[in-house]
Structure 1
Amino acid sequence: MILLGFFETYVKLSEEEEQQLQREVKTMETKEKEKVLELIISYEQKGRKEGMKEGMKEGMRRLIETMARKGMTNDEIARLVDLPVEEIERLL
């Protein structure tokens, strides 16, 4: 079940807590399960978006560092990556 998989992945439960969770899930009404599932999906989507955003930032930082190592000025880098010079300086 997706709900239990979510808890196994993101929430570390003791064996007793896991058994209690399984009992509670079994007693949930279908509508309750659907609401919980929607919440889980929402959190997973948010996590993916945040991960992608962080990955893009890290990629940009590495690109800027590489350009600087190759001898480009902060002004040149700023023009190429479309960021203010102050941001380039902060990232270096």
Structure 2
Amino acid sequence: MQLISGFIDTYLRLNKLEKEKFQTEIGTLIKEEKEEVMQIVTSWMEEGIERGIEREKNLILRLINRKFGQINLELETEIRNLNIEIIEALGEAIFDLDTVEDLQNWLDNL
């Protein structure tokens, strides 16, 4: 199992040939080992998704701070707690907001 885990650690971004090799290696495992490997891969994918969401939230907050100046911690926390769909909508809505009060009203009307 360490061999597979090390293989994945080394090749998080696989090219076509590496993907083929990975699939070949996975094919040689018994069912229980495959399930363990897939759990490792799934947890890495989930971690990557979470990192992406945090990066998007950070970007939106940087845009807000650039447009309106530094916002208060309470408002920042409210924004950080939004789900990804609302964050994406806020990213588009920023262009229509002129003040921090507009931002707060937008959030209050969710």
- Shorter chain as denominator, the TM-score bin is 0.5 to 0.7
- Spell out structure 1 runs of 4+ moving beyond 6 A: none
1:11 aligns to what?
14
Which ranges of structure 2 fall in alignment gaps of 5 or more residues? 1-7, 78-110
Bigger Rg, structure 1 or 2: 1
2:56 aligns to what?
55
The 5 A counterparts of 1:79-90 are 81=75
> Equivalents in 2 of 1:12, 1:34: separation in Å?
23
Alignment deviations for residues 15-52 of structure 1 (CA, whole Å, 9 cap, x no partner)? 3x555434322221001100110001000000011011
Normalized against structure 2, the TM-score is what?
0.48
> Equivalents in 2 of 1:80, 1:21: separation in Å?
46
Question: Percent identical across equivalent pairs?
Answer: 19
Structure 1 residues 18 and 46: CA distance shift in structure 2, 3 A: closer
> Equivalents in 1 of 2:14, 2:72: separation in Å?
42
Q: State the one-letter code of the partner of 1:66.
A: K
> Equivalents in 2 of 1:79, 1:21: separation in Å?
45
1:31 aligns to what?
32
